[in-house]
Structure 1
Amino acid sequence: MKAFWTYTLARLGVFAVCFVIVWGLSQIWLESTAVLNIWVLLISLVISSVISVFLLAGLRDKLALNVHERATRMTERIEESRRAEDVD
């Protein structure tokens, strides 16, 4: 579970930094409106997604390995239970 929270918090951090930068730049050059804030949000989401693909690759790999190991353990337990039922 630690890998999940680390990756999630890192993604949120990257998004927050991107949002602050894009919002700051929009305040300098453009007039503030509700529509502009939605565009800032969308642009920040896209930029943070692209950055996360490259910057957080190691954390994502750890998370994927963690999920795979957990799924393997669950599958083994299910198969073990199924074999125990067949024996009785």
Structure 2
Amino acid sequence: MTTYPGGVKEFVVYTALRILLFLASLGVVTGIWLLVADQANLLATFVIAFVLSGIGSYYLLNGPREALAQRVDARARRASVRFDEMKAREDAD
């Protein structure tokens, strides 16, 4: 398995899952709208699908979101340590 720097894999997985969840929500909302009416209001279906996918991602994508957050936090901590080390070396010189 290829490892990617800085949590790229977690970002790609989470983003792909968010897009898939939105597209699935859009399909369901559009399908229900078309069953009820002859035409679907495109703007309304997009807005409803966006809201539903946002709520759904909060519950359904908790694992991938946590993995991404942990990777970003670890990277930020490493950067902070490096910055403090460089600052200490400057102060010593």
Would you say same fold, with TM above 0.5? yes
Q: Which of 38, 41, 44 does residue 43 from structure 2 map onto?
A: 38
Q: Which of 79, 82, 86 does residue 77 from structure 1 map onto?
A: 82
Q: Specify the alignment match of 2:22 in structure 1.
A: 15
What's the RMSD between the two structures over aligned residues?
A: 1.1
Is residue 24 from structure 1 mapped to residue 31 from structure 2 by the alignment? Answer: yes
Structure 2: unaligned runs, 5 residues or longer: 1-7
Aligned length: 86
Query: What is the CA–CA distance in structure 2 between the aligned matches of 1:59 and 1:73, rounded to whole Å?
Result: 21
Q: What is the deviation of 1:31?
A: 3.2
Q: What is the deviation of 1:86?
A: 1.0
Residue identity over aligned pairs, in percent, reads 31
Is residue 49 from structure 1 mapped to residue 54 from structure 2 by the alignment? Answer: yes
